[in-house]
Amino acid sequence: MASDLEKKAKEAFIDDHFGLAVDLYTQAIGLNPSNAELFADRAQANIKLNNLTEAVADANRAIELDPNMAKAYLRKGIACIKLEEYCTAKAALEIGASITPADFRFIKLIKECDDCIAEETSQVPQPVSEVPTDTVPMRDVQPQKDLPSQAPIVAPSKPKYRHEFYQKPEEVVVTIFAKGIPASSVLVDYGEQILSVRISVPGADAYHFQPRLFGKIVPSKCKFEVLSTKVEIRLAKAEPIHWTLLEYSKEPTVVQRVNVSTGIVLCNC
């Protein structure tokens, strides 16, 4: 039963067996996929494992199922802070604080977000090189996540749907080739530097795509459209820079500012 799995998951979490807790919560969710508590608690375990985009996705799902669950907003805020998504974190934390105004954790974390946002705003932009947007071949990338050192390395499974992206100076267009999917089955959420996509089809495992993006975006200007053969997502760039990848990389890169509005970069993923 889902309740038994949930109990075991909580015990595993208390014993610092976070990977086991995630596995048990996942099994419980399979039996009870409309339980917001399970998603919120799995988000907490994913945060401990540093699976931050997965934690954000779980928190978003918990919020979707129960918009008044304060701890779901708290966990989304914590994960977004760790991802340096301070504006997204602050927005979630402020909603959580409005639900439980006596919880000092929200006040503390909102202040942390304000401090980080102020620090980011005060930083002097680094010099960038200007280059034209000629077509450039892109490397094939797969989503990566930080795993605990004791966990074995497992080969990633093949994604359920293929995706690709191309870019213009002002936007990045991500296409997920999911054919015949009703719009009601698609949930897309945006953060400062996060894209979260969930496709749920009855009788099949849900598809999740939650990359931390190469550059920052403007969530209020982003949009998506569900077509007969694909889901098309338009991400508004916060800066007109050239994205060498769709996803964030810890490797040092030279930021290239686009100054010509011609040329499209295509990446098959």
Query: For 129-268, CATH number?
Result: 2.60.40.790
Q: What is the pLDDT of residue 80?
A: 92
Q: Which residues contact 33 (CB under 8 A, 6 or more apart)?
A: none
3-state secondary structure of 57: helix
Residue 82 has pLDDT above 80, yes or no: yes
HSE-up of 260 (CA within 13 Å, CB side)?
A: 10
One of 1.25.40.10, 1.10.8.590, 2.130.10.10, 2.40.160.20 is the CATH number of 2-122, namely 1.25.40.10
- Residue 248 CB coordination number (10 Å): 17
Task: Sketch the domain layout of the chain as residue ranges.
Answer: 2-122, 129-268
Q: Are 200 and 238 in contact (CB under 8 A)?
A: no
C-beta of residue 261 within 8 angstroms of C-beta of residue 169: yes
For residue 120, the cross-strand partners are none
Query: pLDDT per residue over 181-224, tens digit each?
Result: 999 889 998 888 889 898 988 888 888 888 889 899 999 899 99
* More confident call, 137 vs 252: 252
pTM: 0.59
Lowest-pLDDT choice from 17-31, 110-124, 163-177, 244-258: 244-258
